[in-house]
Amino acid sequence: MKKWVFLAVLVFGIGYPVIKMPAFFQDNVEIKKYDQAQSGFVDTYEEVRVTKEDIYRGNLLLVNAEHPMKQESKREDVVNLQHDLTMEVVLLDSEIELSEGVALAFGKMVAAAEKEGVHHFSINSGYRDFQEQSLLYEEMGSDYALPAGYSEHNLGVSLDVGSTKAPMNEAPEGKWIEENAWKSGFILRYPKDKTHVTGIQYEPWHIRYVGLPHSAIIQEKNFALEEYLDYLTQEKNIIATFKGQKYTVSYYTVSESETIQLPKNQAFEISGNNMDGVIVTVQE
């Protein structure tokens, strides 16, 4: 899909109509290769130090059969959803936990869905510690659960979402999430057409927070998370523009400690990939 530079085509002149583009065109993302050598001179910058420990922190950690997480990779802001947050969503039980930041993003996503008449969401599972994951693996077996450390639920950024009306593969809530969750920074982690990449069967209920612009790029290019991280490793630097906001996304390998130069006074985020490096996202 190509970016539509104008969201409406204006024809000037008395009596000429304003032709508005369909709403979905407003959500397109433009992605292009970024050549740092040709990016222009930045007269003010700051040096940011990243270490090997940063490889194992952040929203873009890859957790799968080949890349188990470390216990310190768990988000530090995990809270009990019933006790600590007010959300307009049904909770399967009173002990469900999740990263507070991810929960707030999910709440905004649910509010967006409600405006479109989709509002029967439930949260069936969120963060699990290693002990809980081990018990689940023993009870459910390898066909339905993963060992401790190999499940995204151990990070605190993933949740299983349900509908109070029907199974997610049939419910309006499931269809809405598949088509719209990326606009709020979430991805459907185990899509139907990516089982050969993820090694996990289709799960229309399991969503994962990666944040913008990453979710928009993943949606645009029809990537699984594994494919997106491979793409960043190959490209090194890309620019993504989404809803008028420009982001520079750069990949760096990290051995022990690296110093990265970033434009001063611009917001940035650093996330490891749980493998060999970090992804730096600068919001211009």
Token digits for 50?
């990243």
pLDDT band at 110, cuts 50/70/90?
very high
pLDDT band at 9, cuts 50/70/90?
very low
Note the pLDDT of residue 85: 78
Q: What is the rounded average pLDDT of the residues 8-31?
A: 44
Dihedral class, residue 15 (left if φ above 0, else alpha if ψ from -120 to 50, else beta): left
Token digits for 272?
């490891």
Note the pLDDT of residue 139: 86
Q: What is the rounded average pLDDT of the residues 184-191?
A: 97
pLDDT band at 263, cuts 50/70/90?
confident
**Catalytically active residues, by annotation:** 203
3-state secondary structure at position 98: strand
Note the pLDDT of residue 26: 54
Q: What is the rounded average pLDDT of the residues 34-45?
A: 61
Note the pLDDT of residue 3: 31
3-state secondary structure at position 259: strand
| Closest by CA position to 199, among listed 209, 189, 187, 208 | 189
Is residue 262 within 8 Å of residue 225, measured between CB atoms?
no
Q: Amino acid identity of 237?
A: N
In this predicted structure, the answer to whether residue 42 has a pLDDT above a threshold of 80 is: no
Q: d(Cα 197, Cα 193) in Å, to the nearest integer?
A: 9
Residue 154's Cβ-count burial label (10 Å; 0-12, 13-18, 19+) is: buried
Q: d(Cα 197, Cα 223) in Å, to the nearest integer?
A: 10
pLDDT tens-digit readout, 228-259? 999 999 999 999 999 899 999 999 999 888 89
Q: What is the rounded average pLDDT of the residues 165-183?
A: 97
pLDDT band at 264, cuts 50/70/90?
confident
Q: d(Cα 203, Cα 188) in Å, to the nearest integer?
A: 8
pLDDT tens-digit readout, 49-79? 999 999 999 999 999 999 999 989 999 999 9
In this predicted structure, the answer to whether residue 114 has a pLDDT above a threshold of 90 is: yes
Note the pLDDT of residue 141: 83
